[in-house]
Structure 1
Amino acid sequence: MTASVAPVSPAAPASHPLAAPLARTAVTLMFTVNGLLIGGWGGSLPSLRDKLAVSDGQIALMLFLAGIAGITSMQVGGRLSDVVGARRIALVALPVLVAAVVTLGLADSYPVAVVGAALLGLGNGAMDVAMNAIGVQVEQARRRPVMSSFHAFFSIGNLLGAAAVLGLAAAFGLAGGAIVTPLLLTLAAVAVVVLVVLVRVAPTAAPVEHRDAEGGRIRIPRAAYVLGVMALAFGLSEGTAVDWSSIHITDVARVDPTTGAVGLVAVSGFMVVIRLFGDRLVTRFGRRAIVRFGGVSAALGYLAVTLVSSLPLLVAGWALVGLGVGMIAPQVYAVAGHLGGGRVLAVVVTFGYAAFLAGPAVIGFLVRHVGIHHAMAVPAVLCAGIVALAATMPREDSDISRRRETDPLA
């Protein structure tokens, strides 16, 4: 068979352009600007609701349409990344994402905002898969893990985008709907500058063939769907942590909402920290061990928040959740990319993205029926399942090529 996406191995040429520091910097910029725009969008939603005078149900519909557009775009973008190269898809998707943010910033009616949300889903879905695909090729060329650091800078960008709401409010005395336009247009301008830089420095990612020695098309490997199930589990767990941690602490510890926000701070902060150190840990212990440890950490964190009620212990529990889920996604996505390029990434990222979007709603249903304390047992069980499924992952990236050579559908 044609092994077009080779794993990291000692045979990889160190002089490959994708191994250069500039290539890593360019991909880091992609992840950062993507996180910045998505964080700004998320942080602006309450203000956008005020500006347009719409209901929570209408905001939910916008989020749903953005999610559907994103899932569709992931499938198309993943396959096109293999055909024409991930660089091109990322550099086409980013202007779509910028256009979406501008549309949302200038929207003066709900229909215009819906168009902006759909554009945001289309741009983000394709860019998400493409930047992960090119990140995997940089990792292959460098012959050592780098995916955790890329995801760390996405998280940093996300935090900066959300924090820009507070920054503009403090600097210019803006509040409510008045902050939406200057916020989103400022972030869009930053993204345009980054886009100009990326056009010049982003590395070229090779197209990926999926044909065997006889020219027949190779089907998506079965292992992709196992990775997809893992993505479902960590997607729901991460989405629950992002959307429910602050509410959980507010209700269980009986504190004011401002204090309760420390839950999301703990989750996000520990996700960034572990991702910054994740590549070193993968080098030392391997992806399988890191995913197992992440699953154990997140499961223990969720178990803790179902059993305790004091503020310090709840914060510690949510910190463990952030530590755990922060480890898992970069490694699962890296294995998917090594296994089969953009089309396998599209499958796995879609599972995770769908669970991230739908999971909090599922948890919300459980909260109404069993209470917020007991509802957190569900992601605890899912994270424990990740520990078990991690046994199917290769210990080393070099094991992936051996699997493909012995069984193309492995």
Structure 2
Amino acid sequence: MQTPPARALRRAHRGVLGTFALVGVVNGILAARLPGLAAKLGLDTGDVGLVILSWGVAATLTMQCMRWIVAAVGNRLLLRIGTPLVTVSVGLIALSPSFPLLLAAAAGFGVTSGVAEAMMNAQGSLVERRAGRPMMNGFHAGWSVGAVAGGLLAVLLAALDVSYTASVLGVAAVALPPAFALGRTYLDEPAEEETEQRGNLPAIVYLIGAVAFMALLLEGLVADWSGLLLTRELHTTEAVAALAYPLYEVATFTGRLFGDRLRLRFGSRLLLAAAGTATALGVLLVVLASSAAWAIAGFGLTGLAVCIVVPLCMSLAGAVVPGRSDAAIAQVSAIGYAGLLVGPVLIGFVAEASSLRTGIATAIGVALSIAVAASRMPRGLPAAGFGAEQDPAGASATVPAGRSDS
């Protein structure tokens, strides 16, 4: 693989970071203003679950298709198309005047998000591999910064009594021009690299995808249900409830600042086990919270712990199958983002049958499953172009790309 000039690589690094941040902004305001959307159209908990289902199914199917499409056209073109369309689809959600049209708009957002989310991880992996050092947690930290900015903006707009439609539509309109501009910064990678091999991906890719699935299920818990838990179970105002998501993203940003260094210091297995255990404790604190402050603290601990899991999965997926990195990342994305589909919808239906606290409590077992899955991860997984990882004892052993040792 030819190394690009340093200037182009730095430009691409800034572009990928900006893309993650931009997508984070629009997701942040959507999540934080979800109670406003529910109030606008008179949605109950089950209706909100169906909206999330519409988005999730579309996103997951799209990401699965990306595995084959990216082999033909490369991640650069797909990302240049997908990122602007994300902002357009967010605007359509804001303008939806009825529940059926909202479901259609949510599906459109799922399609565009599926393209952008998978391909920005693929582009980030390309930059990471060509730079020869771990960078994926840093890119996802950019997403967290954007989500915090979007969430805090949502808090301000809610406090000022700006309508849901005006808030979300305004952010979408402002984000569209930068989305086009970022497309000029991406690195190009010949599609032939992804077409040399057409067979099934190795088992390790699906193991990584399963861990990503569990982590994103937990992330969806906070994004989709934190505001409703605070307003409906703990009876806070919408402005206070909107604080949960940006504070959660502050915690994820903090964790991701150190994620790459922790990965090199302790290795993937120990880091995943610790993240799963601490995440379970965070969710437990949310479930047992008697006040908004304790619930928000629980969401913060959840974010601090779970935040490193998905970036690590994407980085590993880009390294374990040389010559098919984009396809592997697209497959892990499809499996992982199905967690955003299954988790919040499952919680919604459990909440309908019992309570929202009970629905959220189901995530404790999922978090502990990440810790269990860590023990099944092979030692010495190849890192993104910077050699094999060290295990905590200092031994290094690279796992061949074609086997999982699981």
**Mind listing any 5+ residue stretches in structure 2 that lack a counterpart?**
390-396
Q: 2:110 aligns with which of 121, 145, 148?
A: 121
Q: Which residue of 1 aligns with 2:69?
A: 80
| Structure 1 residues 337 and 266, CA gap change in structure 2 (3 angstroms) | same
| Structure 1 residues 65 and 369, CA gap change in structure 2 (3 angstroms) | closer
Q: 1:378 aligns with which of 354, 362, 371?
A: 362
**Root-mean-square deviation (CA), in Å?**
3.5
Q: 2:79 aligns with which of 86, 90, 98?
A: 90
Q: Which residue of 2 aligns with 1:8?
A: none
| Structure 1 residues 111 and 379, CA gap change in structure 2 (3 angstroms) | closer
What is the CA distance between 1:18 and its match in structure 2?
A: 8.8
Aligned residues of 1:96 and 1:122 also touching (Cα < 8 A): no
Aligned residues of 1:39 and 1:157 also touching (Cα < 8 A): yes
Within 5 A, what are the aligned runs for 1:10-409? 13=3, 16=5, 20-49=9-38, 53=41, 55-56=43-44, 59-108=48-97, 110=99, 112-168=101-157, 174-176=161-163, 179-180=164-165, 182-207=166-191, 209=193, 217-245=198-226, 256=236, 263-264=244-245, 266-305=247-286, 309=290, 315-340=296-321, 341-367=325-351, 377-391=361-375, 392-395=377-380, 396-397=382-383, 398-399=387-388, 402-404=398-400, 407=403
Aligned residues of 1:96 and 1:119 also touching (Cα < 8 A): no
| Structure 1 residues 250 and 103, CA gap change in structure 2 (3 angstroms) | closer
Q: Of the two, which has the highest radius of gyration?
A: 1
Give distance in 2, aligned partners of 1:241 and 1:379.
11
SS at match of 1:205: coil
Aligned residues of 1:144 and 1:283 also touching (Cα < 8 A): no
**Which shows bigger deviation, 125-134 or 101-110?**
101-110
- One-letter amino acid matched to 1:240: L
Aligned residues of 2:216 and 2:336 also touching (Cα < 8 A): yes
Give distance in 2, aligned partners of 1:47 and 1:381.
30
| Structure 1 residues 109 and 388, CA gap change in structure 2 (3 angstroms) | closer
Give distance in 1, aligned partners of 2:269 and 2:131.
20
* Residue deviations 1:320-367 (CA, integer Å, cap 9, x gap): 221111121110121122224232222222222222232133234445
What is the CA distance between 1:377 and its match in structure 2?
A: 4.9
| Structure 1 residues 19 and 142, CA gap change in structure 2 (3 angstroms) | farther
SS at match of 2:372: helix
- One-letter amino acid matched to 1:388: V
State the TM-score, normalized to the length of structure 2: 0.81
Aligned residues of 1:75 and 1:343 also touching (Cα < 8 A): no
What is the CA distance between 1:66 and its match in structure 2?
A: 2.1
| Structure 1 residues 112 and 364, CA gap change in structure 2 (3 angstroms) | closer
Give distance in 2, aligned partners of 1:383 and 1:152.
21
- One-letter amino acid matched to 1:403: V
Aligned residues of 2:16 and 2:120 also touching (Cα < 8 A): yes
| Structure 1 residues 18 and 403, CA gap change in structure 2 (3 angstroms) | farther
Give distance in 1, aligned partners of 2:254 and 2:292.
22
Aligned identity (percent) is 29
Q: Which residue of 2 aligns with 1:9?
A: none
The number of residue pairs the alignment matches comes to: 389
Give distance in 2, aligned partners of 1:406 and 1:62.
39
| Structure 1 residues 41 and 315, CA gap change in structure 2 (3 angstroms) | closer
State the TM-score, normalized to the length of structure 1: 0.80
Give distance in 1, aligned partners of 2:155 and 2:43.
23
What is the CA distance between 1:256 and its match in structure 2?
A: 3.6
Aligned residues of 1:77 and 1:127 also touching (Cα < 8 A): no
SS at match of 1:403: coil
What is the CA distance between 1:19 and its match in structure 2?
A: 7.4
What is the CA distance between 1:372 and its match in structure 2?
A: 5.6
Aligned residues of 2:152 and 2:246 also touching (Cα < 8 A): no
Give distance in 1, aligned partners of 2:100 and 2:349.
28
**Mind listing any 5+ residue stretches in structure 1 that lack a counterpart?**
5-11
